[in-house]
Amino acid sequence: MRLQDCHNFSDFRRMAQRRLPGPIFNYIDGAADDEVTYRRNTESFETCDLVPNVLRGVSEIDMSVTVMGQKLAMPVYCSPTALQRLFHHQGERAVAKAAAKYGTMFGVSSLGTVSLEEARKISSGPQVYQFYFHRDRGLNRAMMQRAKDIGVEVMMLTVDSITGGNRERDKRTGFAIPFKLNLAGMLQFALKPGWALNYFTHEGFKLPQLDEHVDMGGGTMSISRYFTEMLDPSMTWDDVAEMVRLWSGPFCLKGIMSVEDAKRAVEIGCSGIVLSNHGGRQLDGSRAAFDQLAEIVDAVGDRIDVIMDGGVQRGTHVLKALSLGAKAVGVGRYYLFPLAAAGQAGVERALEQMRVEIERGMKLMGCTSIEQLTRENLRFR
Ligand code: FNR
């Protein structure tokens, strides 16, 4: 299968599956428990239909948006995700460059495999730094200071991962960092020598956002131990309010699902929230992000930028979310499978397809700018 054969999400997913060892593919593709929320995230876009207008003169299309003070050439950004160099040796470098080429924002995860500083140097686009809340408050401040020193635009705290989700596919394959593969897992690696060659001929695995601040036991501390030992389950709104004050720039909470929490985010001075269930990877059975969007926009949409992510695979999904009132949309697996399939060229192809789909969709909807997409354009079944 070649990159030219990839025309949509499923094609990229299939190409990634052919290239990646099973445990890595399943780490990306999998979600929590029975993966109900994961499936619902995409299915929920089919609960409503678009109602187009015609004859409106749509030769010039402007799909740019401004979100948390950042001007984006397209209303889709690359949500922060962990461990990208495991998927392809270019990892975050590829995503940073592709996002900049398409004039959009990208997120570097604190579990990223390329440093914030390097990502900053190779990309001209706006950068988000996503982190988790550590027991050690000094460490949280140090991480924010590091981001401030290099001019990261948006600080993002993920609040839906106070404990790890139950990822049963990872249990079955033995996927963990460092690797603790069972026999079946090892066999799956042996079956993908192309991936192994790509991975082992490039520099070793690092977590540069953490290595500088946290004693990862010389690489022996597992990510699951990091979550249980280093992160602070007693975190409250007061702690976050202090971080928002300290950052004093655009601050965003990722993983908000309820109206009550969205209102609290406004009260403590956040500039944005990402309405997200972490791609179904945390609390299975939680509502699909798109299903929850209208409620959240109605409650806080005039006071804070509401971004949503989860299940977005098509330009028309983006148009539906924007019509309901989201300011922008995040994607995770949508760019991770192309990254795994073909590195930067894959991510660029996926973003180009998204751009073309949004442009075509706007023309067919009779809209020349994002503001023209409203709830008048949607009907729920
Ligand atoms: C994630 N996500 C995530 N979120 C976050 O805040 N920090 C992180 O380190 C990660 N890591 C991560 C790894 C992988 C492999 C995936 C698939 C996802 C969640 C991500 O930012 C986003 O919320 C979801 O991916 C959105 O759902 P879709 O677009 O993948 O359906």
74-113 tens-digit pLDDT: 999 999 999 999 999 999 999 999 999 999 999 999 999 9
DSSP three-state, residue 74: coil
Structure tokens at 56: 């409106």
Task: Indicate which residue's Cα is closest to atom 10 of ligand 1.
Answer: 81
pLDDT of 256-268, one tens digit each?
Answer: 999 999 999 999 9
What is the band of 217 on the pLDDT scale with cuts at 50, 70, 90? Answer: low
Task: Indicate which residue's Cα is closest to atom 12 of ligand 1.
Answer: 81
Kindly tell me if the per-residue pLDDT of 230 is higher than 80: yes
Mean pLDDT of the chain, nearest integer: 94
Q: Is 30 in the pocket of ligand 1 (CB under 6 A)?
A: no
Among candidate residues 88, 134, 278, 317, the one labeled active-site is 278
- Average pLDDT, stretch 12-38? 96
Kindly tell me if the per-residue pLDDT of 351 is higher than 70: yes
How far away, in angstroms, is 85 Cα from ligand 1 center? 15
Nearest residue to 335 (alpha-carbon basis) of 94, 162, 152: 94
How far away, in angstroms, is 330 Cα from ligand 1 center? 9
In this prediction the ipTM stands at 1.00
Q: How much is the pTM?
A: 0.97
Q: Is 99 in the pocket of ligand 1 (CB under 6 A)?
A: no
Kindly tell me if the per-residue pLDDT of 206 is higher than 70: yes
Of the listed ranges 75-79, 143-147, 183-187, the least confidently predicted one is 183-187
Q: Torsion angle, CA of 254/70/116/17, rounded to 10 degrees?
A: 60
Tell me whether residue 317 is annotated as binding. Answer: no
What is the band of 205 on the pLDDT scale with cuts at 50, 70, 90? Answer: confident
* 278 noted as active-site residue: yes
Q: Torsion angle, CA of 19/173/92/228, rounded to 10 degrees?
A: 180
Task: Indicate which residue's Cα is closest to atom 13 of ligand 1.
Answer: 81
Residue 134, strand partner residues? 231
Going 66 to 355 to 80 to 312, the CA torsion angle's sign is: positive
